[in-house]
Structure formats: structure tokens, C-alpha cells
Amino acid sequence: MAGDWLKRIGVLAALLLLSSCYIPDKFKSELRLSRYGDYSLTYKGDLMFAPMLDDYRKNKIKPEEEAERQENVRRDLSRDIAFRKIEAKGKGRFSVEYERVGRLEKVQLTSLIRRDARMISLRSMENGAIVVKANAMKPSDAQILAELGLNMEGEFRITTDGNVVKHNATQVKPFGTSKVYIWKIENALSAMPELVMIRDVDTERPLAPRASELR
């Protein structure tokens, strides 16, 4: 039994280090995406730093080292000026608020948090498609997370007036001339958000407003 547990811990560490260093939890996140490619992306909730979680399970972090380890992670996150708040909650968990506003060019990749640790990516392509996709795990890997007591719970929304040609949202609601695509994330086994939109071409469009201005 002990051998199986240690093996699972090793698989978890390898999985998380390869996929993404940060695991979202207890979150609400929203992307407002115009049909022209303007966007406003917000995230409010927790982020768990996977390598630190693994070290706690291996008893590799001494009490006197915890504050320094947490500060190193906070400093890593703060490199992105889109983070409005980063608050350590202990044992590798951080409460954060994030907001990024921008405009996707004809071909571009942007992400939350960044390319080498992305949870959600926005990719615009030369054929006019914009693909929004969350970082997903294989079912077997997600099951390991659940068995280890790690959760991934929250809600992600995309509000857009664009021509959506593909999505796997849990629910879709009308919102004026737009639609709201909603994903309820109950655990690591939940389907991760994916949406494909075909953008309109208009170089004289205004910048999309911040999501907070539209509430």
C-alpha cells in the first residue's frame, strides 16, 4: 500500500510539472471576447503551486523555509502585471485577482498565466479562427489528483457576440446581442473549457471594455 502511494505521488509530481505549475481552485473566471478579437480576461480565486504541494507531502519543507518559499512563488506570479492581488494562504495556496485587457492580432497566442505555465490560452489564427482552450489532463491523471485529495472547483464564463462554431460549455444563456457560455468545473475530471469562434474583420473597432465595467 505504501509503495503504491509513493508511486502515485511521483506520478503526480511529474504530471503537474509537465502540464502546468499552477492548479486553479475555488475560482470565478470570465472572458469577454468581441467578434473582432478584443478581450477582457478576469480570474478571482485560488492558485495552488504544484511543486510546493508535492514537497509538503514529502515533508521536504521546514517551517522556517515556508515563508521564503511562498515569497518566491508570489514573486514569480507578480512578474505579470495583470495580477491585481496575490495573497499567500499557506501550504502552496494563493488567493489572487487577475485582469488582462487586450486585442488579439491576426496570429497571436496569449494565456493565463503565461506560455510556460498556462491554464487558459487564447489563440488567433490566420484563417480567422480564435480558439479558447483550458489546459486539460488525461482522465487517468485527473483521477490521481482526486485520489490525493486535491480539488479543482470553480466556474468559467465566456461572453461573446462572435460567431461561435464549436464549444463544450455546460450551459449557454442569452445576454443582449451576445451569448454567455458557462462551464461548471466540479473537479479535475470535469471537461475543460474549449470554444472556437470565427472573428469579423474590422480595423476601426474600439477596445473591449473591462469586464468589471459591464457588471
pTM beyond 0.95: no
Q: For the chain, what is the domain count?
A: 1
Residue ranges for the chain with pLDDT beneath 70? 1-20, 114-117, 137-138, 140-149, 202-215
The rounded distance, in Å, linking the Cα atoms of 202 and 182 is 27
* Residue 55 contacts residue 61 (beta carbons within 8 Å): yes
- Check residue 57 and give its pLDDT: 74
CA-CA distances (angstroms) from residue 74 to 47, 114, 123, 198?
A: 11, 15, 27, 37
Residue 152's pLDDT is: 85
- pLDDT, averaged across the chain: 82
Q: What is the model's pLDDT at position 21?
A: 79
How many residues are given for the chain? 215
Domain range for 102: 2-214
The pLDDT, as a whole number, for residue 124 is 96
Given this model, what pLDDT does residue 205 score? 53
Residue with cell 444563456: 173
Angle (CA) 183-36-213 rounded to 5° is 65
